Amino acid sequence: MQTLILILTAAILFPCQTDGNNLISYQKLDNPKLIFETIPDRESPVYQAGSGVITSSPGDTVGWTYYDYQCNGSTGQRIVLDEIGGSHVFWVRTGSNLYPPGIWYNHIDSLGNVLWPYEGIPIVENAGFPQAAADTEDYVGFSYKSTSILNNLWYSYFSLQHNIFRSFQTGIDSAFNPYISIDNNRYPHIVCYKYSPNYEFPLNLYYMGATDDGNLWTIHNIDKVESPSAIVTSSPVSRKTAVVFAHPTTGGYSWRNDVHYVETPDGLNWDWINDRINITEYGQNNDSLFACVDLDAVYDFNDNLHIIWNAHWATDQVIYYKTFLFHYDSQSGIISEVSSSDSVWISGCNPGAWNRPICKMSIGIQYESNNLYTVYTRFDTSDCSAGGYANGDLYMQYSLDGGSSWSAPENITNSLTPNCVPGDCDSDHWPSMAEHIDDYLHIFYVNDKDAGGIPQTEGTVTLNPMLYLAYPAVTTGKKDKAELPFTINLLRAYPNPFNARATIEFDLAAPCDVELTIYDITGAKVETIRRPGLKAGRHSILWDGDGVASGVYFARMEAGGYSQSIKMVLLK
């Protein structure tokens, strides 16, 4: 029996204004609709599973899928970084007929070794749209919707080290698009959407939280929305958690929104009405700028919330192609522009359903420095497939001042394939970046071999590699880590969290002097431990934190011109 998969249709795009070069500045506004059906077979696939699909896009192949479309709205977290530097990735994979869907998983250790090269492993059958989060130990949780049992939402968590895997129904059915975070209490928080009776807009936005690993859930209906954009994120240094979502300014339009958020100080108590903050207040004084459909958020290590989203001009008749990327800092309350796209587009070159020229953004925060990074998909009007869909590239920008100013956009995949035919495209899309960053940005994305989202009937069915990319973070006053020879591997701190004493374990590839420096959450130096003339091999250093207060600390190890950092939580 065929499995039914919920998908969202594209807006039908009609050019409203062109010039002699067939350029469009805006398009007719047609609200996307919810449909509930499967997609029939298309062409035979170009590549075979496990063959190591040829691509010019950077990164390691950690899996593959025919189901290129990995999210409807916000991209969320399909990759998380654990406490010992390992990356965990999750994605939807199907056969060439696009069913049945399943969730697949892979792990990349701190040395960059892929546990199951090229393939990954299946972890949930008949399920889709996974989202993941890591807790303060070595457990990873993920949420997903089942397509076999009334579209129930599920929560699972596991530990590779302890060989544990547990799953729980959340108590809500007929729902989709779950996003998850795990706070410092190890409480899971999930936001999702329930279908309306006729699978139409508006959508009912729900929150679910649990205090007992996932056996019993508190459920609350937050809002009625037109865009599947909500995400949830938790602070790494306190028990704060925030739900961020796009609230419609005008009913019936999915692309005319404000950005709202609600925050709990302790992971338990929410005031969904009085604590709601509208950070944009679009539509005032005849302002026609509105939030689109994508957003993301992260707390920094000073406990401030940062939100990022895309926006465009829109009337009740048309939307303009020019797209802005904005950032908001809860401490200052200031909105800053990160980037913007061109104001025109080429007729016959479509970014695809739920996409804008800048879309699917992730925001992350770097240990120690509190530097902000964002990675997103950007479409270029000069790079379109033969089928009429824009090929994406991944771009990165960073801020060294809490989001007040941002670096120039940097194309980090740079895999242009204009006029490509199915199987020869390198459309880099649906990126997700781990929200916590060490010396690298940990990025997971789809290298779509024919641009356009297959479940939206865009493009052609192809076998698409799922790529993991460790992109060097910005350093100040030192050579880039990627330019230095590998010398040290900081494996872990254990126990973590710890009470008074923690053992910090590391490997040396060559004899050298080692310096371990402990910093508190403000970046102040707590202690420096030196070990001269250590031999190659595995070593450990015991840090005694008996004389300092409970909180988050960072251990930075330097050896042979190379450095690595790890986060530790002291609980007394």
Q: Which two tokens stand for residue 84?
A: 């010992």
User: What span, in angstroms and rounded, lies between the C-alpha atoms of 154 and 167?
Assistant: 7
337, 406: one domain: yes
338, 228: one domain: yes
- Give the domain CATH number at 503: 2.60.40.2550
| pLDDT class of 326 with cuts at 50, 70, 90 | very high
- pTM flag (> 0.85): no
Q: Is residue 500 part of a domain?
A: yes
495, 467: one domain: no
Domain of residue 98: give its range: 6-45+55-437+463-472
User: What span, in angstroms and rounded, lies between the C-alpha atoms of 391 and 409?
Assistant: 17
SS3 content of the chain, % helix, strand, coil (to 5): 0, 50, 50
- Give the domain CATH number at 403: 2.120.10.70
Query: pLDDT value at position 483?
Result: 36
Query: pLDDT value at position 19?
Result: 41
Query: pLDDT value at position 347?
Result: 86
526, 555: one domain: yes
Task: Please identify, among 423, 446, 472, the residue that sits at the C-terminal boundary of a domain.
Answer: 472
Query: pLDDT value at position 151?
Result: 64
115, 150: one domain: yes
Which DSSP letter does residue 114 get? B
17, 96: one domain: yes
Q: Which whole number is the average pLDDT over 398-408?
A: 95
Q: Which whole number is the average pLDDT over 332-357?
A: 92
User: What span, in angstroms and rounded, lies between the C-alpha atoms of 134 and 529?
Assistant: 29
Q: Is residue 64 part of a domain?
A: yes
Q: How many domains in the chain?
A: 2
Q: Is residue 133 part of a domain?
A: yes
Q: How does pLDDT run across 155-184, given as a tens digit for each residue? A: 998 888 778 889 998 888 788 889 999 998
71 vs 262, more confident: 262
Average per-residue pLDDT in the chain? Answer: 84
431, 552: one domain: no
Q: Which two tokens stand for residue 239?
A: 């028990």
Query: pLDDT value at position 364?
Result: 98
User: What span, in angstroms and rounded, lies between the C-alpha atoms of 414 and 393?
Assistant: 6
Query: pLDDT value at position 124?
Result: 92
Q: How does pLDDT run across 22-50, given as a tens digit for each residue? A: 788 887 766 554 433 334 334 433 333 33
173, 230: one domain: yes
- 3-state helix/strand/coil string of 35-77: EECCCCCCCCCCCCCCCCCCCCCCCEEEEEECCCCCCCCCCCC
DSSP-based three-state secondary structure for 296: strand
| CA-atom Rg of the chain in angstroms | 23
Query: pLDDT value at position 455?
Result: 85
DSSP for 140-171, written as a single string: EEEEEEESSSTT-EEEEEEETTTTEEEEEE-S
Of 139-143, 370-374, 478-482, minimum mean pLDDT range: 478-482
Q: How does pLDDT run across 75-122, given as a tens digit for each residue? A: 999 999 988 889 999 999 998 888 888 999 999 998 889 999 999 999
Query: pLDDT value at position 5?
Result: 26
21, 142: one domain: yes
540, 417: one domain: no
272, 380: one domain: yes
468, 517: one domain: no
Closest residue by Cα to residue 287 from 261, 252, 311, 321: 311
For residue 209, pLDDT beyond 80: yes
Q: How does pLDDT run across 258-301, given as a tens digit for each residue? A: 999 999 999 999 999 999 999 999 987 667 799 998 999 999 99
Pairing mode of beta strands 60-65, 335-340: unpaired
Cis peptide before 130 (omega within 30 of 0): no
556 phi and psi, to 5 degrees?
A: -110, 120
Q: Which two tokens stand for residue 131?
A: 């989202």
Give the residues across from 468 on adjacent strands.
Answer: 60, 444
Q: Which whole number is the average pLDDT over 476-494?
A: 53
Of 13-17, 147-151, 410-414, 444-448, minimum mean pLDDT range: 13-17
Q: Which whole number is the average pLDDT over 372-388?
A: 95
For residue 571, pLDDT beyond 50: yes
